[in-house]
Structure 1
Amino acid sequence: MKKRTGLTIVYLLLITGSIAMIFPFVWMVSTSLKTAIDVYSLSIIPENPTFANYIAIFQGSPFLKWFINSLIIAVITTLSVAFFDTLVGYIIAKFHFIGKTIIFITILSTLMVPTEMLIIPWYLMSSELGWTDSYWGLLFPGLMTGFGVFLMRQFMESIPNDILDAARVDGMGEFKIFLKVAIPQVWPAISALCIFSFLSNWNAFLWPLIVSHSEEVFTLPVGLSFLASGEFNTKWELIMAGSTITALPLILVFFLLQRYIIKGIVLTGMK
């Protein structure tokens, strides 16, 4: 009886937490289907649902261009992080060379620096190289991450050296060992890293806002901030419509790769 009561309390807490997490998303979708007059009503179900807001953001702004820009930035940075962070993590974990510990500590120290403190050096670097208001300017801060190197180094440590030595005895080169032997062993960790990287770069706002000056290179978060700001009021129905479309790729990525996230968490716990 006590066990059943405890489970009931746990389920009630989980249901309450789920409702609290889902409700803002439901409200966002609901508001995106409301007219400008009904946007401040407290009803969740729109009285006069309309898709006019979705049509308006595509017709009245380069929303599709912003969507493509965000997709390009998120995909390229995710692929770069997945490859280079995994490669650096593998080298630090499985090779012995002078200064390895110092290099690793230096990489870890970057995690303690707030992003806001890096904005000025990033912008000065972009200005010197002529990368402002360009894809390169948006891309380069996210091409490698200290967190990714740390994560992959920890997982690479779990690969038995005997497996790598056996591959060397069979005549495989070091880079081929990395691709054919090491990566399959840590694929759940790579998948989790890809998801974190994609979400981070898809939702990035501060740096794209600073480095981009024209609508042609705006990403979705930056574009949305300019899209619905009127002179006297904020067009919440347009913001919510754009935000709903923005959330769709994130939901798709989660549903496609959620089993890798769970597997990565399980393996981390086993370690």
Structure 2
Amino acid sequence: MIRDALSRGTILFLLSLGAALMLLPFAWMISTSLKAPNEVMLMPPKWMPSEWHWDNYVRALTMAPFGRYFLNSVLVTALSTLGELITTILAAYAFARLSFWGRDFLFSLLLGTMMVPGEVLLVPNYVTLARLGWIDRYEALIIPWTASVFAIFLLRQHFLFVPKELGYAARVDGAGDFRFLWTIMVPIVRPAIVTIVVLKAIGSWNAFLWPLIVTNSREMRTLPVGLTAFTTEAGTAYELLMAASAFVIVPMIVLYLLLQRSIVEGLARTGIKG
């Protein structure tokens, strides 16, 4: 009994310590966003500001067209997530349930592309989009990211654990592959789909390098790129940068908190509940 209590206490302590370490950067961001400029770079660091400058948030939002940046981020995130969801569901079902020549080889080849660093593809992708005339357009921000090998792999593994008897029963009732996929398979693996949606939404919302490369005008930039407005030749206004960063991360934090249970279940489960 004592050993079990000590074990649970140790685990709780380690988890609490890990949570505190994860929250430390967020606490520093909020603290910095409320400081005066002369307090930001003090050594040793000063956690609590002498005076709370809530006006930093107002100043941060007026230094750049963040309303436009926000709309661009919402549009790009929503459409790229929807596109990836459609391609992932169809591809994962094909690799898990359909029989066709070269299926396993194609899937292995697809997994092999995960070994290629994304930075290697920046130049060829940019050249392709330039030839299509998509630079500084929404197509460049959305279409290249409407498919994910990792998402296909994750969802395929969940599809494989759905009993084949369900497919046989659906075909006896006259359901084809498309109907069986959307009415039976998709609801069963909903936690995995929610996980894919959240991971994609967070990745798209926080993307910086690609939107920076393929956009030239301020009207096409997204929120992460818009944060560069606080860095000039004179230096970086860290208190305003932290204030704007707080606005940027809030939507994704809310999304994660709302779907946390489904995310954990989607990543942890290896089959379906009996």
TM-score range, shorter chain: over 0.9
| 1:147-200 per-position Cα deviation (integer Å, ceiling 9, x unaligned) | 111111111111112111211221223211111011011111101111111111
Q: 1:92-149, CA deviations, whole angstroms, 9 ceiling, x for partnerless residues?
A: 1101011211221121111111100110111011101011111111112210011111
Structure 2, unmatched stretches of 5+, are none
Deviation sequence 1:41-97 (CA, Å, 0-9, x none): 433332211222221122221111111111111111111111210111001110101
Structure-to-structure mapping, 1:180-195, within 5 angstroms: 180-195=183-198
Q: RMSD value over aligned CA atoms?
A: 1.7
Q: Shift of the alpha carbon at 1:37? A: 2.5
Share of identical aligned residues, percent? Answer: 37
TM-score by length of 1: 0.94
> Separation in 1 of the partners of 2:21 and 2:97?
45
- Alpha-carbon distance in 2 for matches of 1:103, 1:16: 44
Match of 1:261 among 246, 260, 263: 263
Q: Which residue number corresponds to residue 128 of structure 1?
A: 131
Report the CA distance shift for 1:5/1:165 in structure 2 as closer, same or farther (over 3 A): closer
Letter in 2 for 1:18: A
Q: Which moved more, 1:83-92 or 1:41-50?
A: 41-50
Structure 1 residue 7, shift from structure 2 partner? 2.9
After the TM superposition, which parts of structure 1 deviate over 4 Å for at least 4 consecutive aligned residues? none
Corresponding position: 1:243 with 2:245: yes
In structure 2, C-alpha distance between the alignment counterparts of 1:15 and 1:97, rounded to whole Å = 50
Residue-pair matches, total: 270
What's the counterpart of residue 104 of structure 1? 107
Stretches of structure 1 that go unaligned for 5 or more consecutive residues are: none
2:6 corresponds to: 5
C-alpha displacement of 1:269: 7.5
TM-score by length of 2: 0.93
Equivalence map 1:207-246=2 (5 Å): 207-225=210-228, 227-246=229-248
